[in-house]
Amino acid sequence: MTDDRTTRIRALNDCLRCTGVGGQVVITRGIQALGPEKLRAVIAAVTTFDAFSEENDPHGEHDFAALTVEGARVMFKIDYYDRELTYGSEDPADPQVTRRVMTVLLAEEW
């Protein structure tokens, strides 16, 4: 069972992951090096990912996943920072005090 705060964090994370709205998205050099076609496939896979479970999403925030896209092991991670991107956010459920950054990377870059 999730509480209202977790539900709000999940909704904000899903908005960033699925639409790019509500934060910034960072693509690592490893992902870029896959080339434009595979990059499009990775982005499509990340934005449509919905296989969250207790095992891969224990806090119910939809802030991380690992998946395989055309043979490449890919991960995404959403981190919560203050508005200046200096410190961690005091309240990830509040977009007024939080900047989300989603990083899409190859597993070997972790």
| Angle made by CA atoms 107, 22, 19, in degrees to the nearest 5 | 65
With a cut of 60, say whether residue 30 has pLDDT above it.
Answer: yes
Please name every residue paired with 102 in a beta bridge, in sequence order, or none if there are none.
25, 78
The residue segments making up the domain with residue 31 are: 4-109
Annotate 13-73 with three-state secondary structure: HHHHHHHCCCEEEEECHHHHCCCHHHHHHHHHHHHHCCCCCCCCCCCCCCCEEEEEECCEE
> Which SS3 state, helix, strand or coil, does residue 5 take?
helix
Q: Tens digit of pLDDT for each residue in 51-72?
A: 999 888 999 999 999 999 999 9
- Give the number of domains in the chain: 1
